[in-house]
Structure 1
Amino acid sequence: MRDILWRLCLALFAGHELDAVAQAEWRLLYGLRDLDPTLGPPWFIALHVPLCVALMWLAGHPHQAIRRTSRQLFAAFAVVHAGLHYNLQQHPLYLFDSLLSQTLIFACGATGLLYLMPSLGRQRTTCSA
């Protein structure tokens, strides 16, 4: 079940990233927002290539500890990312107000949280023992 949750989180995030190009998310990001409007989208897309390669490599790593940790970090990032989007909703350049955009963002965060819950429960048990 956890594997399905992680794959769903990843798929929702990939869908969000496709939507992020259409919604000009690059205009909200430090380092990209000051670029000329003709340069922002190509840089936003190009920078995702090494990030995706790193994520695929780490999430499918042959060493279980690296694979587990990278998946947990990605799931945690999905939760934080949803929080950032929630806080940006009033920003004048924020365009993620469609049902599709909102569903991709917040379902991804929720799925990441569901993925992390068993790990968080184990950490709490370990800490209190």
Structure 2
Amino acid sequence: MVIKTLWRLCLALFAGHELDAVAQAEWRLLYGLRDLDPALGQQWFIALHVPLCVALMWLIGHPRRAIQRTSRQLLAAFAVVHAGLHYNLQQHPLYLFDSLLSQTLIFACGATGLLYLMLDLGRQRSPCND
């Protein structure tokens, strides 16, 4: 139950961050989008999230449990890496994620993803898993 709650919290924090990412013009930090006109970059940033979300929903809801679990682990690992990327970008002149809300969404997502991975991978090694 705790592991599922952590997964859901990680996903919710990530969703909150993605909403905040539009407000903070995150596309201006991304290769391929940062050289576009700001309005076009924003449109592409939002539009590209649609197939990403479809793929994520398909993978985490896949009929095979192994695919569900691996997909959840990969997204949780990405949350950790993503928090590290944001940490390293904090001094970038176009970085706008300075508010308490932005920082909380990013780093709580990474921490929750890390905790989820630790517990889930520990559960995989346990003789009484799932």
TM-score, normalising length: structure 2? 0.92
CA distance 1:123–1:7, shift in 2 (3 Å): closer
Q: Distance in 2 between matches of 1:120 and 1:71?
A: 11
- 1:123 to partner: Cα distance: 7.3
**1:81 maps to what in 2?**
82
Q: Distance in 2 between matches of 1:45 and 1:99?
A: 23
Q: Distance in 2 between matches of 1:75 and 1:38?
A: 30
**1:117 maps to what in 2?**
118
Aligned positions, number: 125
**1:24 maps to what in 2?**
25
Q: Quick check: 2:14–2:79 contact (8 Å CA) kept in 1?
A: yes
Task: Establish whether residue 57 from structure 1 lines up as the match of residue 87 from structure 2.
Answer: no
- 1:60 to partner: Cα distance: 1.0
Q: Distance in 2 between matches of 1:121 and 1:12?
A: 23
Q: Which runs of 4+ in 1 moved over 4 A?
A: 122-125
Q: Distance in 1 between matches of 2:42 and 2:12?
A: 21
Q: Distance in 2 between matches of 1:4 and 1:124?
A: 20
Unaligned runs of 5+ in 1: none
Q: Quick check: 2:3–2:120 contact (8 Å CA) kept in 1?
A: no
